[in-house]
Structure 1
């Protein structure tokens, strides 16, 4: 619709009236300006009187734009002025966001962001352990510090506090790993932009590989005692002892993964993230055959409520303590725990002369180095290897003697 422009008492300022809309008792007016700047004639709309515009204010705007064009300082058009204003607003918003990032504390990231997600995505045992590490060791040092202010010296203090409290090197390494994960999380979510300080820390050296394993007589006594107190705990212990399963693998085992005909268990979502097979012994097959078999998706070892078991039973721990296996033992590697059954499985294999590669496959270890701890348990295998070398050397010498040389004729 065509509009009728009206002149004002100010050069370069004009307006038109809205057909119906009122501003006070008068019709609302829309103001626009026309002026010469940088050799070009410009024409721009300003706004309505109801938005605060007036002829005088429009004239002042014209004067400012002409001055900017003459001096070369400032915007020479409303579009440019709006752009500069938007750029300023964005810069201020970014500065404010950066200030918030700079001031975000470790406690804020851990409690409000990182930990709630960890509880949803990690196993209960894992997030509970992280929570304990935070409360006992991390929070006293880092909680109120902005992430940008946390330096290696603070992490060294955590290491020192834990070492003085008698915590193992492995526990210290785990706690530092939690700190590292929080920083990585903050960086991934634009809460932190610096270098992860954990990368500058030397991890304490540790050898937490389990040493203690059961003799056949100790294992028989333990299984017999468990059978009297809890047949289910005894069955789980037997499966770990005979097939090398971790506790978590036993808790997650379903009947669909039990192949009685082939004598094989399929273990999914293992610690290494890969699926592997476990071979059943006759005793393990007999034990499973005696259990009530249900649907493929049903757990082989459900809890009393029918749900997945979350941790090793106190029945196992109390039975081990009753036998005195851990009396006077201070080195964690020498203590008998449920995982000792898996370690015993591998140790018995090594003692029976099983090669380390086969043990690696049965245990589901990712690297060969992880099974080298069992090498000293298979001296007969090493002796057989050396005897084979000697036999090869003797055979080579015998062949050499039978060779007829032209110079000897």
Structure 2
């Protein structure tokens, strides 16, 4: 950059603040040329369009690591999510994150779907990857749009929730009591059936969580503690069990073996969760309030609890009363 006097007496300001951008202008006086040169230099320092950043060439795996360092480590399932994201990076050949091609992702998703991966799992992974971009953009670590923002998740048909009838509950408890190799299975099952707790929530209860005829569940899926009352008989049973056998230990495998012995067949993935569905289903069938059920189950959204509404005794009875064939048959 320089200011030179020309033979005709005028002054030439010749500036090239960044490579590829040159500014030349003639002035009557040297002072005017110097002021112009200073103006060009000042704009170079403050105007992003005059001082563009180099393109972001970080790989997808680098963004995943950064996401985990800044945010993912705080999540309950952060390590599990990161392991799935790391595997996704490998399958996609770790592209430049800013240049991730949605069609490349969709092709990988198709291959996995054809190999037997469930739509729910694939939708979860899409959500995890989107969250990486969205969270890092919110933290100011990237400046470009989420390349997967327009990719649609698979539409999943709502499946019927499996729950146990009174007879099936009896068969299950008989199978547990007659040949179970883990003494903790029965109290955990009873606790799930009595409170609608998830298996892991019930399995991690201790005597300290049982007070005044109620069980308090902490470290829940929604991260909110909830307290559910139980009968005096169940409270006494649990206290006696803990005195004899100590704290609960992992019992899910023994439960599945007992379920198989009972002869009860449940859809894949609904073995222990059928206990929670059974509590909710019986609660509604016997006239329980849907809002109360939401609080007992710890659902953050009423929409989740409404899955059980069709089991209410008077649900949609008007379909019978007002159907056009009501007077014919």
User: Could you list the per-position Cα deviations for residues 149-207 of structure 1 after superposition, in whole angstroms to 9, with x for gaps in the alignment?
Assistant: 12332332233223222332211210101111121233245443222133202221114
TM-score after normalising by structure 2: 0.72
Q: What corresponds to 2:231 in structure 1?
A: 281
User: Could you list the per-position Cα deviations for residues 334-357 of structure 1 after superposition, in whole angstroms to 9, with x for gaps in the alignment?
Assistant: x54211111111111122232333
User: Could you list the per-position Cα deviations for residues 82-134 of structure 1 after superposition, in whole angstroms to 9, with x for gaps in the alignment?
Assistant: x949957x98xx75x633x2x11112222x3234567732335x632552464
User: Which is richer in helix?
Assistant: 1
Q: Give 1:147 deviation, angstroms.
A: 1.7
Matched, 1:70 2:24: no
Tell me if the contact between 1:320 and 1:336 (Cα under 8 Å) persists in the aligned partners.
Answer: no
Question: Following the alignment from structure 2 to structure 1, what is the Cα–Cα distance between the partners of residues 262 and 85?
Answer: 32
Tell me if the contact between 1:169 and 1:204 (Cα under 8 Å) persists in the aligned partners.
Answer: yes
**Aligned in 2, Cα 1:324/1:106: closer, same or farther, shift over 3 Å?**
farther
Q: Unmatched 5+ residue regions in structure 1?
A: 1-60, 294-299, 304-308, 388-409
Tell me if the contact between 1:210 and 1:340 (Cα under 8 Å) persists in the aligned partners.
Answer: no
Q: Unmatched 5+ residue regions in structure 2?
A: 16-32, 322-329
Question: Following the alignment from structure 1 to structure 2, what is the Cα–Cα distance between the partners of residues 382 and 286?
Answer: 40
Q: What corresponds to 2:252 in structure 1?
A: 313
Name which of 247, 256, 262 aligns with 2:199: 247
Alignment partner of 2:149: what SS? helix
Q: What corresponds to 1:404 in structure 2?
A: none
**Aligned in 2, Cα 1:70/1:117: closer, same or farther, shift over 3 Å?**
closer
Question: Following the alignment from structure 2 to structure 1, what is the Cα–Cα distance between the partners of residues 73 and 305?
Answer: 33
Count residues in correspondence.
297
Question: Following the alignment from structure 2 to structure 1, what is the Cα–Cα distance between the partners of residues 176 and 81?
Answer: 28
Alignment partner of 1:231: what SS? coil
Q: What corresponds to 1:236 in structure 2?
A: 188
Question: Following the alignment from structure 2 to structure 1, what is the Cα–Cα distance between the partners of residues 204 and 157?
Answer: 29
**Aligned in 2, Cα 1:255/1:198: closer, same or farther, shift over 3 Å?**
farther
User: Could you list the per-position Cα deviations for residues 294-331 of structure 1 after superposition, in whole angstroms to 9, with x for gaps in the alignment?
Assistant: xxxxxx9454xxxxx6xx632223332344434xx7x5
Matched, 1:338 2:272: yes
Q: Give 1:252 deviation, angstroms.
A: 4.8
Q: CA RMSD in A?
A: 4.1
Tell me if the contact between 1:237 and 1:341 (Cα under 8 Å) persists in the aligned partners.
Answer: yes
Q: Give 1:280 deviation, angstroms.
A: 0.9
Matched, 1:264 2:214: yes
Alignment partner of 2:108: what SS? helix
Question: Following the alignment from structure 2 to structure 1, what is the Cα–Cα distance between the partners of residues 94 and 81?
Answer: 21
Higher Rg of the two aligned structures? 1
**Aligned in 2, Cα 1:274/1:165: closer, same or farther, shift over 3 Å?**
same
Tell me if the contact between 1:268 and 1:275 (Cα under 8 Å) persists in the aligned partners.
Answer: yes
Q: What corresponds to 2:60 in structure 1?
A: 106
Q: Give 1:213 deviation, angstroms.
A: 1.2
Tell me if the contact between 1:251 and 1:301 (Cα under 8 Å) persists in the aligned partners.
Answer: no
Matched, 1:140 2:102: no
Question: Following the alignment from structure 2 to structure 1, what is the Cα–Cα distance between the partners of residues 199 and 288?
Answer: 24
Structure number with greater CO (CA < 8 Å, separation at least 6) is 2
Q: What corresponds to 2:28 in structure 1?
A: none
TM-score after normalising by structure 1: 0.59
**Aligned in 2, Cα 1:153/1:187: closer, same or farther, shift over 3 Å?**
same
Question: Following the alignment from structure 1 to structure 2, what is the Cα–Cα distance between the partners of residues 133 and 324?
Answer: 39
**Aligned in 2, Cα 1:119/1:376: closer, same or farther, shift over 3 Å?**
closer
